[in-house]
A and B are shown apart, each in its own frame.
Chain A
């Protein structure tokens, strides 16, 4: 019991004092996950849109693959990327292994299929009537497509948040390709693994609390988005 109480006391102290090491770890986590999310979004949303709007050969096969990849075990991505980036691997000469770039690549790979699948579903979920209504009001083909994407905007945002939720909690891939090097590739999740292993629970608990807060924020944002996306009394007036 003492272990836990003492752990929490020290953890809160660390957070309260904005401990420099702790902050470094948190900031790196956010940097890695947000950058990967940006890459996944920039690549994933247009891909999802293209799958929805264009006639693409093997579309359903592609979608099935994306859906399967959504549940890709992070350790497998980590292993795969490790093999590619390790010194004897095909991309070994780039010297990326155990850098934050490698972690960003790993997480981008994890984010991509989630963003593709969910933004495809978001855009496909927009009623045909929206496109028709835009057309009856004189919108060009392109403007109609924009109207449909706009209509899906909250659902697309949910897709992006879902991907962020996965990235911020992920440890398997970044641990393998990042190596958990203090001050360079140590992020929240990998630090928790290490500190728990060492028995230094204060840091682990502090980081756990931060990670929980991140998750809670993600879910709060998702909740707000989902309410604005559909008919609801709670959001009767636009927040303008």
Chain B
């Protein structure tokens, strides 16, 4: 089951630069959302706040399971994830990168092996499992990041510009993976992109950031 993400009266400023002001929006369970807009409008900032990496100046970010609001004791950080635009590749093998989230959860090795193998197949990196992850191309890196994010079976999967620096073949591959995730896994998907075509292709709802607010289009 996915999770509902509700932001209300969100405010975020960098010094005098007001990025969000009184921004409220609800991302519903198991739906796919695209946040579109040109560079510098605050898409990444918004996702970082939702992933609890950064605090808003004011307002609340709530995670709901049905009607129930989850709190710290529900281990929110372990149930949501954000694929950062630069991925953040660990200097280990591709396999260990994907296994990371399972290792911090102290999963059994046999379980890790199975899950990682399945995900590497899904993203088409099965033959590059032993590769030093830092030597992957940018498209492969994004796909690995996607596998790493999916490994933890997130209830909310956030992605920041998942196709920004990739070639056509990888663009197609990533689109297909996201579509298959959308259809086969019950997870709420929220991704930022400046690619309107990608947004239309994958998202159920497309929202933009304008004047510090999120607006559906």
Q: Are the C-beta atoms of A138 and B134 separated by less than 8 Å?
A: no
Q: Cβ of A143 < 8 Å from any Cβ of B?
A: yes
Q: Cβ of B82 < 8 Å from any Cβ of A?
A: yes
Q: Cβ of B119 < 8 Å from any Cβ of A?
A: no
Mark B74-112 against chain A: 1 for CB-CB distance below 8 A, else 0: 010110011110111111110000001100110000000
Q: Are the C-beta atoms of B84 and A132 separated by less than 8 Å?
A: yes
Q: Are the C-beta atoms of B84 and A137 separated by less than 8 Å?
A: no
Q: Are the C-beta atoms of A240 and B130 separated by less than 8 Å?
A: yes
Give the residue name and chain of the B residue nearest to A127 (CB): B88
Q: Cβ of B53 < 8 Å from any Cβ of A?
A: yes
Answer whether A133 and B135 are a contact pair too, CB < 8 Å, given A138-B77, A138-B81.
Answer: no
Inside 8 A of A133's CB, which chain B residues have their CB? 84, 87-90
Q: Cβ of A135 < 8 Å from any Cβ of B?
A: yes
Mark A147-159 against chain B: 1 for CB-CB distance below 8 A, else 0: 1001100100000
Of the candidates A127, A132, A138, A236, the one whose C-beta lies within 8 Å of that of B104 is A138
Size band of the B side of the interface? Answer: 20 to 34
Q: Are the C-beta atoms of A237 and B88 separated by less than 8 Å?
A: no
Please report which residues of chain B, range 118-158, place their CB below 8 angstroms from some CB of chain A when the two chains form the complex. Answer: 130-132, 134-135, 148-149, 152
Answer whether A137 and B130 are a contact pair too, CB < 8 Å, given A130-B90, A231-B135, A236-B135.
Answer: no
Of the candidates B53, B86, B100, B132, the one whose C-beta lies within 8 Å of that of A237 is B132
Inside 8 A of B75's CB, which chain A residues have their CB? 138
Taken together as a complex, chains A and B put the C-alpha atoms of A127 and B134 apart, in Å, by: 14
Q: Cβ of B35 < 8 Å from any Cβ of A?
A: no
Q: Are the C-beta atoms of B88 and A132 separated by less than 8 Å?
A: yes
Inside 8 A of B134's CB, which chain A residues have their CB? 230-231
Measured CB to CB, the closest approach of chain B to A125, in angstroms, equals 12
Taken together as a complex, chains A and B put the C-alpha atoms of A143 and B103 apart, in Å, by: 10
Of the candidates B91, B93, B100, B131, the one whose C-beta lies within 8 Å of that of A137 is B100
Please report which residues of chain A, range 119-154, place their CB below 8 angstroms from some CB of chain B when the two chains form the complex. Answer: 127, 129-130, 132-140, 143, 147, 150-151, 154
Taken together as a complex, chains A and B put the C-alpha atoms of A139 and B53 apart, in Å, by: 12
Taken together as a complex, chains A and B put the C-alpha atoms of A150 and B91 apart, in Å, by: 9
Give the residue name and chain of the B residue nearest to A129 (CB): B88
Q: Cβ of A208 < 8 Å from any Cβ of B?
A: no
Number of interface residues of A (CB under 8 A): 27
Answer whether A137 and B53 are a contact pair too, CB < 8 Å, given A127-B88, A236-B135, A238-B130.
Answer: no
Give the residue name and chain of the B residue nearest to A146 (CB): B104
Mark A210-231 against chain B: 1 for CB-CB distance below 8 A, else 0: 0000000000000000000111
Give the residue name and chain of the A residue nearest to B78 (CB): A138
Q: Cβ of A64 < 8 Å from any Cβ of B?
A: no
Give the residue name and chain of the A residue nearest to B95 (CB): A238
Inside 8 A of A136's CB, which chain B residues have their CB? 51, 53, 81-84, 88, 149
Answer whether A135 and B78 are a contact pair too, CB < 8 Å, given A151-B90, A231-B135, A237-B131.
Answer: no
Inside 8 A of A137's CB, which chain B residues have their CB? 81, 100-101, 104, 148-149, 152
Q: Cβ of A235 < 8 Å from any Cβ of B?
A: yes
Taken together as a complex, chains A and B put the C-alpha atoms of A137 and B153 apart, in Å, by: 10
Report which A residues bind B (CB closer than 8 A).
127, 129-130, 132-140, 143, 147, 150-151, 154, 229-233, 235-238, 240
A-B contact pairs, 20 of them (CB 8 A): A127-B88, A129-B86, A134-B88, A134-B100, A135-B77, A136-B51, A136-B84, A136-B149, A137-B100, A137-B104, A137-B148, A138-B81, A139-B100, A139-B104, A140-B104, A147-B100, A154-B91, A235-B132, A236-B132, A240-B130
Beyond A130-B88, A151-B91: 17 further Cβ-contacts under 8 Å?
A133-B84, A134-B100, A134-B104, A135-B53, A135-B77, A136-B81, A136-B82, A136-B84, A136-B88, A137-B81, A137-B101, A138-B81, A138-B101, A139-B101, A139-B104, A236-B131, A236-B132
4 pairs of A and B residues whose beta carbons are closest in the complex: A133-B88, A137-B101, A138-B78, A129-B88
